[in-house]
């Protein structure tokens, strides 16, 4: 019988395949589409994301977590939430459809009305496959998740490239999102081997809502906090500036979020299985925090150092103005990377009410910072408020984990501080060295990247960094298990 630990190892590896596979496809997508489309096209989509994201959080912001947290959910539970998701997605799409002209008027861009009405159908298709995805996550079947997500990402990329090449502009990005959600829905129904019963239980709904309701509100407020920057930028600046911000945010997020979500997908179901075994819970959580922190520190350092040649290489010189946006956002990347595991730990021990209360506090702080900063400091004030908000949220999360899980606050800080110091020292040194090299910028960027990785690896070995040993054992165990098979 396969142990939870072995499932977690396998889950991390397949989660890595999924996330890095999708991230690679996203990179290719951005490289190609950014050359075919303009910052204005990306800006139009970025302006609407807050409305799509909030609606998506409404549909399954909490019940998916409730189903995973519940030890033995029944088919009645799954069926009840499935029908709830479908009904709510139809209602929310109707609301977006009717409000589309008002939203377009708010941004003073008439085209956005038609874009939102078409783009909004992704809510319905996404709702069709949420239960199947949660079942696969609960069973730690990340291989199937990887296959579906990578396949749908590839096909949707093909659709977007063809439409962008034919001059459809912003509609190419809309088509990419819709085709992604449609293919996901079809494939998850095929690989999930699940269909709902003809039953809707109010008793089951109420039971799951006791936990999921607070998670739902937490997700809603968290999404509002994350997307409020886009709303403010879209309203106060032109679509081109919004496009530059969106592209910088996407690139930074694709690295930070991909690094953390590899672990986060596995964290919640594994920690939920350990909820009655606190020593194993804390031990697992420590590794789930240290490994992404170790990797993300290196990734963020490299991306800050080589930001300009990276942006020009990926998106062409017309996107060079987003370089400082990207560098500033990268300083928040590690904090964002660390938030997921702490959130999952609080949820896994059943503290959804605590999670909700503190989410309101954290996100209110973030929103207030954003509004004040953009009014006082403009675009750069907003960017630095994102950094301050991300690190504030991390520190609050660390306090909550200390109080409700037993992983001491000071210990959490000391467990990641070496990575941060190593990254800062190495990054500054390599950047100063690179600024004096009289070579082509791409060659300098290559040398800087290699030096960052080698020096970081060497420092980890010299100082016996614990996360480095965890990561090395994780890779070794996975490789050897594949060879034995």
pLDDT, position 84: 85
pLDDT, position 308: 93
Tokens linked to 185? 């829905």
Confidence of residue 480 (pLDDT cuts 50, 70, 90): very low
SS in 3 state form for 212-231?
HHHHHHHHHHHHHHHHHHHH
How many other β-carbons are positioned within 10 Å of the β-carbon of residue 66? 25
Residue range 189-216: mean pLDDT, rounded: 78
DSSP per-residue codes, 250-272 = HHHHHHHHHHHHHHHHHHHHHHH
Angle at 239 between CA 234 and CA 240, to 5 degrees: 125
CA 221, 226, 227, 233 torsion: positive or negative? positive
Q: What is the mean pLDDT of the chain?
A: 81
When mean pLDDT is compared across 224-238, 339-353, 460-474, the lowest value belongs to: 339-353
pTM exceeds 0.85: no
Residue range 71-77: mean pLDDT, rounded: 79
Instruction: Please report, for residues 152, 241, 311, 321, 331, the alpha-carbon distance to residue 308 in angstroms, rounded to integers and kept in the order given.
Output: 31, 17, 5, 9, 15
Tokens linked to 97? 């459809």
d(C-alpha 263, C-alpha 258), whole Å: 9
User: Does residue 454 surpass a pLDDT of 90?
Assistant: yes
User: Does residue 1 surpass a pLDDT of 50?
Assistant: no
Query: In terms of Cα–Cα distance, which of 378, 43, 452 is closest to 239?
Result: 43
CB 311, CB 249: distance < 8 Å: no
pLDDT, position 425: 94
Tens digits of residue pLDDT in 331-357:
988 888 877 777 777 767 766 677 777
Residue range 81-104: mean pLDDT, rounded: 89
Residue spans of the domains in the chain: they are 37-236
Q: Hunting for tokens 């020593």 — which residue is that?
A: 279
Angle at 387 between CA 383 and CA 390, to 5 degrees: 130
pLDDT, position 230: 76
d(C-alpha 64, C-alpha 69), whole Å: 9
pLDDT, position 44: 78
Residue range 362-384: mean pLDDT, rounded: 85
Higher pLDDT, 54 or 188: 188
Residue range 451-470: mean pLDDT, rounded: 87
Higher pLDDT, 55 or 5: 55
Residue range 229-249: mean pLDDT, rounded: 82
Query: Percentage of residues in the chain with pLDDT exceeding 90?
Result: 18
Q: What's the farthest any 2 CA atoms get from each other in the chain?
A: 71
pLDDT, position 479: 44
Higher pLDDT, 40 or 220: 40
Residue range 411-433: mean pLDDT, rounded: 91
User: Does residue 299 surpass a pLDDT of 50?
Assistant: yes
What do you get for the CA distance between the two ends of the chain, in Å?
16
Confidence of residue 9 (pLDDT cuts 50, 70, 90): low
């Amino acid at each position: 019988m396969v142990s939870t630990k072995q499932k977690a190892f396998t889950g991390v590896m397949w989660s890595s395949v999924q996330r890095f596979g999708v991230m690679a496809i996203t990179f290719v997508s951005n490289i190609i589409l950014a050359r075919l489309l303009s910052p204005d096209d990306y800006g139009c989509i970025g302006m609407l994301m807050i409305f799509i994201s909030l609606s998506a959080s409404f549909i399954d912001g909490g019940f998916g977590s409730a189903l995973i947290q519940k030890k033995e959910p029944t088919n009645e539970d799954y069926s009840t939430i499935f029908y709830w998701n479908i009904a709510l997605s139809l209602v929310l799409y109707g609301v977006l459809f009717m409000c589309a002209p008002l939203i377009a008027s708010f941004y003073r861009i008439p085209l956005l009305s038609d874009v939102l009405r078409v783009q909004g159908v992704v809510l319905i298709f996404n709702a069709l496959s949420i239960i199947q995805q949660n079942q696969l996550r609960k069973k730690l079947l990340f291989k199937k998740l990887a296959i579906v997500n990578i396949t749908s990402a590839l096909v949707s990329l093909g659709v977007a490239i063809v439409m962008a090449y034919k001059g459809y502009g912003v509609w190419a990005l809309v088509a990419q999102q819709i085709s992604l959600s449609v293919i996901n829905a079809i494939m998850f129904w095929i690989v999930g081997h699940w269909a709902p019963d003809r039953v809707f239980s109010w008793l089951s709904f109420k039971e799951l809502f006791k936990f999921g309701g607070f998670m739902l509100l937490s997700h809603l407020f968290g999404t509002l906090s994350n997307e409020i920057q886009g709303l403010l930028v879209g309203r106060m600046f032109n679509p081109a500036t919004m496009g530059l911000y969106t592209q910088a945010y996407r690139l930074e997020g694709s690295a930070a979020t991909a690094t953390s979500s590899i672990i986060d997908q596995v964290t919640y179901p594994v920690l939920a299985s350990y909820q009655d075994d606190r020593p194993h819970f804390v031990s697992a959580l420590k590794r789930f925090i240290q490994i992404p922190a170790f990797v993300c520190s290196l990734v963020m350092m490299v991306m800050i150092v080589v930001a300009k040649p990276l942006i020009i290489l990926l998106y062409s010189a017309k996107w060079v103005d987003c370089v400082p946006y990207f560098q500033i956002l990268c300083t928040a990347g590690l904090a964002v990377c660390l938030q997921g595991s702490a959130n999952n730990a609080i949820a896994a021990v059943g503290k959804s009410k605590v999670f909700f209360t503190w989410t309101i506090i954290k996100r209110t702080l973030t929103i207030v910072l954003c509004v004040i900063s953009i009014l006082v400091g403009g675009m750069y004030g907003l960017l630095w408020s994102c950094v301050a908000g991300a690190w504030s949220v991390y520190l609050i999360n660390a306090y909550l984990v200390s109080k409700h899980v037993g992983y001491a606050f000071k210990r959490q800080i000391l467990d990641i501080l070496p990575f941060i110091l190593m990254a800062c020292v190495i990054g500054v040194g390599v950047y100063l060295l690179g600024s004096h090299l009289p070579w082509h910028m791409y060659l300098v960027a290559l040398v800087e990247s290699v030096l960052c990785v080698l020096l970081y690896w060497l420092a980890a070995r010299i100082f016996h960094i614990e996360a480095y040993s965890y990561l090395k054992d994780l890779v070794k165990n996975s490789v050897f298990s594949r060879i034995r098979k």
